[in-house]
Amino acid sequence: MKPFTTLHGLVAPLDRANVDTDAIIPKQFLKSIKRSGFGPYAFDEWRYLDRGEPGMDCSNRPKNPDFVLNQARYQGASVLLARENFGCGSSREHAPWALEDYGFRAIIAPSFADIFFNNCFKNGVLPIVLAAGVVERLFAEAAAQEGYRLAIDLTAQTVTTPAGEVIPFEVDAERKHRLLNGLDDISLTLQHTDTIKAYEARRKLAAPWLFV
């Protein structure tokens, strides 16, 4: 996993609530057995006018001019500004894979769906929860100023606006540590192998039917 430390990124505002993972990456792309290459199909149904199929070359597909990510001013965005309950619906990890592959490293919203939120941390994407009022203000600023960028510092847990306003955010200490260092969960867990084995031994006595 790519570590995440700081980011000074162009902001793309996606102004709808309850954006679900089906919208982030439609199901036909879930047929891939790979982890990469989903970026060109992120938000496929909103982004293109034709029907996307896995393996398609997206460079010549007709783009939906009304979709925000297709606007020239948001090309190269790495911070996604979103509304409440972002990432609801299906548990597909393909959603953060697609966002990451597209180029987003941070997502700011007033709230996220649980599974999606969790999946982001495992893929080097930082989901940041800010108060609804603050998010509202960022939406207004991003719309008003072309080339609007935010500076995100994970160590300091701050988002800084172009005007120099510093907005603090919360992040779980353990997740922060893993993200800062790009650590893989499994190797950390396997350091607890003896504890897991001891738990199993206890549990086998109490509930032997669980161990078939």
The rounded distance, in Å, linking the Cα atoms of 54 and 115 is: 24
> Among 65, 76, 133, 208, which residue interacts with another protein (rule: CB under 8 A)?
208
CA distance 69 to 47: 7
Distance CA 72, CA 79 (A): 15
Residues in contact with another protein, total (CB under 8 A)? Answer: 57
Binding flag, residue 49, another protein (CB under 8 A): no
Least distance to another protein, CB of residue 26, Å: 6
Q: Write down the H helix ranges in the chain.
A: 21-24, 44-47, 94-102, 114-121, 132-144, 173-181, 185-190, 193-206
Among residue numbers 50 through 69, which ones bind another protein (CB under 8 A)? 51, 54-55
Contacting another protein within 172-191 (CB under 8 A): 172-174, 185-186, 189-190
The whole-angstrom separation of Cα 66 and Cα 69 is 9
Residue 128 beta carbon to another protein: minimum distance, rounded to whole angstroms = 16
Q: Quick one: which segment of 73-81, 99-107, 159-167, 192-200 binds another protein (CB under 8 A)?
A: 192-200
Q: Are 113 and 46 in contact (CB under 8 A)?
A: no
Residue 71 binds another protein (CB under 8 A): no
Residues 101-120 that bind another protein (CB under 8 A): 111, 113-115, 118-119
Question: Looking at beta carbons only, is 10 or 138 nearer to another protein?
Answer: 138
